[in-house]
Amino acid sequence: MDVRRITINIAGRVYPLNVPAAEEETLRKVGKQIESMIKDFEQNFDVRDKQDALAMCALKLGTNAEVVSANYEKTINSTNERLALVNNSLNEIGK
> CA-to-CA distance for 5 and 1, rounded, in angstroms?
13
15, 35 Cβ separation under 8 angstroms = no
pLDDT value of residue 94: 76
pLDDT, one tens digit per residue, over 36-70 is: 999 999 999 988 899 999 999 999 999 999 999 99
75, 68 Cβ separation under 8 angstroms = no
pLDDT value of residue 48: 87
> CA-to-CA distance for 39 and 46, rounded, in angstroms?
12
pLDDT value of residue 31: 96
**Average pLDDT in the chain:** 94
Going by the DSSP 8-state scheme, the letter that residue 95 receives in this structure is -
pTM of the model: 0.74
